[in-house]
Chain A
């Protein structure tokens, strides 16, 4: 049986006395788009960093495609990660950045270039020969997505991918995510922009103060909050918990 894309069992992270994540139980199937919601400081970024092996859990367990998150070498090939601030080098051009990321992942330079070209095309980014220092926020996000998907990961973690984008750029990013999901990539999406999640996510999870307080299909979460839209549900559920 194929293991789920993401599975956690009592995943916990604590900084001193502060509990950032209090026993998260989560299961995300392959090819799903999972919207991970929560107010500022709820623990969303911490969860993403735990699942991408960039933080060490204080307790509990988690697996990506069946590999434990404590084994970075095993997990890394399965994940693509776009932090809120994409890890890009201003002094390189977009194409150089992608070639570097591709080679780092073990691709040959020709293959890295070929994939870079296709990712840039898919995102409508035609500034591959310009230095990244000249890129707008939207271009950086697009390049970040291209970089995170270059090695064709099974699971893509995106932290606020549409933050700071104008509507056109946000639409381009959203379309790309939908296309990736259609190709079978699992997308784990953290954002404050709820309409994006409502439109794109198969299921959502609502995190508040380190605890998962609601999870399921968007319509079900909305019903639980007695109607309205996801934004109403978000406000009502996070308010209840406070």
Chain B
């Protein structure tokens, strides 16, 4: 059997596994598909709800207020943004050790390196195409429902396939190249979800948000790059949009060329990098994280006491070393961006960020405290740690994360938009009382409603995702506490401060009562 057939065999088996996995977890699959439908839905939602305001016409074309012109202007930089995002994601998430490849030993020994690289790549592309293909299926259904056929729709898919394959393959090659260069120089490799999220955020802001919101040079740059040519395939659908055949041909040459060159480079680099295991990782980058967490622990010790401070620095240290969960709030920052773009005055941005950080980061840090302790929970329980100290420690870590998250987001925004220092300072002060309310509420919801039963909780080996019930209770309590502020904002905007104070008081009561409940729950927690 030659390497091509082996590659197809590997790809076929991997695709079969993916399909079975998806069918085994129908709820998760439906959720994933729904998430992929959101961007499409948002395009067609009315503008007053933050949507794009487009509609599918009877002739199958998308229409709206100046739709063709808008789409023709907006799509190219968006395609560049998406290409860069996928490239970045590819570079960060490439399997750069043989151990990262599922069944790598088996595949390499049985099929060889080329068949492994190609087979796994094909399966991954198939998975991505299936996911992104949902958009085209929805588009096709929409067109059929509207009573007209649009031949250009499959052509749009061509552009998308070229974009997807070229971006991820090039990203993989660059990721492996970076890994090789770092290994050659003896620099510890440390890829984090936060780095990826921040990179994705910046890409999104640079090439999608800014070009859509205002006509900035960055948008023009995005539209001028070859990565924007892929959009022309989609623009074929719009008679009014000027599509140049040269750009279509160019996109095929560019996409195909990058994909082939990327694959060849990837195979060559994988044959080297996969077999250069740097050995047991020795706390890569851990010294800095430890120093930071330790400093924070010393700062909070006089306020919460030594036992709670120990919990705080331990929680922060583990999040810094396993920060994937912290990447989740970045999605929220994108939504805040979206709100800005669709009507929120720019001067409100710092406060909106502070409000979001106070909501999201405590949820990311403290909404699953028992399972996050996991295998270490028996140690914590057996230490005789008071429930109050456990709750205070987690709450302090969550509140500090909210503050640090706000500061980071404002720093990024300051560089990109020029946030006024006074507005940033106000936001950094405002986030404190908000986080002091939301953090204990998050710990309470997570402690009272742990994701798993006691046995599974102790079996968990790392920071994980919270229970949906804990999420729901947290959201409900925070929403209830915010009710006075929302009511005042709606009916008596002149009394906002009063509404804010009322909300904080109500939230404070919830936090205080909740903390007692959580402390008691922690102290009575048993491993049966």
A: residues with CB less than 8 A from B are: 15-16, 18, 20, 49, 52-56, 72-73, 76, 79, 81, 83, 87-92, 96, 100-101, 103-106, 147, 151
| Main SS at interface, chain B | helix
Of B18, B24, B102, B110, the most chain A CB neighbours within 10 A belong to: B110
* Cβ-defined contact, B6 with A91, below 8 A: no
The answer to whether B278 and A15 have CB atoms under 8 Å apart is: yes
Most buried by B among A83, A87, A91, A104: A104
Is the CB–CB distance between B17 and A104 below 8 Å?
no
B469 at the interface (CB under 8 A from A): no
The answer to the question of B20 belonging to the interface, with a C-beta cut-off of 8 Å to chain A, is yes
A sample of 12 cross-chain residue pairs with beta-carbon separation below 8 angstroms, ordered by A number, consists of A49-B277, A52-B105, A72-B108, A73-B112, A87-B106, A90-B17, A91-B18, A91-B20, A96-B13, A100-B9, A101-B106, A103-B9
Chain B positions within 8 Å of A49 at CB level: 277
Taking A15-B279, A87-B107 as known contacts, 6 extra A-B pairs with beta carbons closer than 8 A to each other, sorted by chain A number, are A15-B277, A16-B278, A76-B109, A96-B13, A101-B110, A104-B9
Cβ A18 vs Cβ B279 within 8 A: yes
A224 shortest CB reach to chain B, Å: 31
Q: When A and B form their complex, which 3 residue pairs have the shortest distance between CB atoms, in order from nearest?
A: A15-B279, A104-B110, A91-B17
Contact A104 B107 (CB under 8 A): yes
* B24 near A91: Cβ-Cβ < 8 Å: yes
A209 to chain B, nearest CB (A): 14
Contacts of A16 in B (CB 8 A): 186, 278-279
Contact with A along B286-316 (1 / 0, CB 8 A): 0000000000000000000000000000000
| B281 nearest CB across to chain A (Å) | 10
- Asked whether A56 and B98 contact (CB < 8 A) given A73-B112, A100-B13, A104-B9, the answer is no
- A55 and B104 CA atoms in complex are apart in Å by 12
Q: Which of B61-117 contact A (CB under 8 A)?
A: 98, 102-113
Q: Which residues in B have their C-beta under 8 angstroms from that of A18?
A: 279
Q: Which chain B residues lie closer than 8 Å to A81 at the CB level?
A: 105, 109
For the complex, give the distance between the alpha carbons of A151 and B110 in Å: 9
Min C-beta distance of A132 to chain B, whole Å: 10
Judge whether B21 is part of the interface by a CB distance below 8 angstroms. yes
> Min CB distance, B388 to chain A, in Å?
40
Q: Are B113 and A72 in contact (CB under 8 A)?
A: yes
Contact partner of B275 among A20, A54, A91, A151, CB < 8 A? Answer: A54
Nearest residue, chain B, Cβ from A50? B275
B490 located at the interface, meaning its Cβ lies under 8 Å from any Cβ of chain A in the complex: no
Give Cα distance in the complex from A9 to B113, angstroms. 26
Q: Which residue of B lies closest to A75 (CB)?
A: B109
Are A89 and B17 in touch, CB under 8 angstroms?
yes
The smallest C-beta distance from A89 to any residue of chain B, in angstroms, reads 5
Total contacting residues, chain B, CB less than 8 A: 31
- Known A16-B279, A91-B16: A53·B109 in contact at CB below 8 Å: yes
Minimum CB–CB distance for A171 against chain B, Å: 26
Taking the complex as formed, is B1 at the interface, i.e. its CB lies under 8 A from any CB of chain A? Answer: yes
CA A53 to CA B107, docked complex, whole Å: 13
Chain B residues within 8 Å of A20, by CB = 279
Chain A residues within an 8 Å CB radius of B455: none
Residues of A within 8 Å of B9, CB to CB, are 100, 103-104
Residue among B98, B105, B108, B186 with max Cβ neighbours from chain A (10 Å):
B105
Give the chain A neighbours of B98 by CB distance below 8 A: 54
> Is B10 engaged at the interface, CB distance under 8 Å to the other chain?
yes
- Chain B residues with CB under 8 Å of A53's CB are 108-109, 275
B276 close to A (CB within 8 Å)? yes
Using Cβ atoms and an 8 Å threshold, which residues of chain B touch A79?
Answer: 109
Chain B: CB-nearest residue to A17 = B186
**Alpha-carbon distance A147/B21, docked complex (angstroms):** 22
Q: Which residue of A lies closest to B276 (CB)?
A: A56
Question: Which one of B1, B13, B105, B106 has the highest number of Cβ atoms from chain A below 10 Å of its Cβ?
Answer: B106
Q: Find out whether the CB atom of B17 lies under 8 angstroms from the CB atom of A54.
A: no
Q: How far is the CA of A72 from the CA of B111 in the complex (A)?
A: 11
Q: Is the CB of A54 within 8 A of B108?
A: yes
Residues A52 and B16 in contact in the complex (CB < 8 Å), given A15-B279, A16-B279: no
Complex Cα spacing A145 to B113, Å: 22
Chain A positions within 8 Å of B20 at CB level: 91-92
B107: chain A residues at CB < 8 Å are 87, 104
Closest to B110 in A: A104
Whose C-beta in chain A lies nearest to the C-beta of B277?
A55
**Smallest beta-carbon distance A18→chain B, Å:** 6
Find chain B residues with CB under 8 A from A151 CB.
110
Interchain nearest-CB distance for A109 vs B (Å): 10
Q: How far is the CA of A91 from the CA of B19 in the complex (A)?
A: 9
Min C-beta distance of B97 to chain A, whole Å: 11
**CB closest chain-B residue, reference A53:** B109
Known contacts A76-B109, A100-B13, A104-B9; decide if A88 and B103 are in contact (CB<8 Å): yes
Contact between A54 and B105, CB atoms less than 8 A apart: yes
Which of chain A's residues have a CB closer than 8 A to the CB of B280?
A: 15
**Chain B 24-60 interface 0/1 with A at a Cβ cutoff of 8 Å (1 = within):** 1000000000000000000000000000000000000
- Enumerate chain B residues within 8 angstroms of A96, measured Cβ to Cβ: 13
Establish whether residues B13 and A56, one from each chain, have CB atoms under 8 Å apart when the complex forms. Answer: no
Q: Measured between alpha carbons, how far is A117 from B20 in the docked complex, in Å?
A: 24
Bound complex: CA A88 to CA B110 (Å): 13
Q: Point out the residue from B1, B21, B112, B277 that lies within 8 Å of A72, measured CB to CB.
A: B112
Is there contact, CB below 8 Å, between B110 and A76?
yes
Q: Is the CB of B1 within 8 A of A87?
A: no
Say yes or no: B103 contacts A89, CB within 8 Å.
yes
A52 to B106, CA, bound (A): 11
Q: Which residue of B lies closest to A88 (CB)?
A: B103
Which residues of chain A are within 8 angstroms of B110 by Cβ–Cβ distance? Answer: 76, 101, 104-105, 151
Q: Cα distance A49–B6 when bound, in Å?
A: 23
Q: Is the CB of A87 within 8 A of B104?
A: yes
Q: Which residues of B contact A73 (CB under 8 A)?
A: 112
Interchain CB contact under 8 A, B275 and A89: no
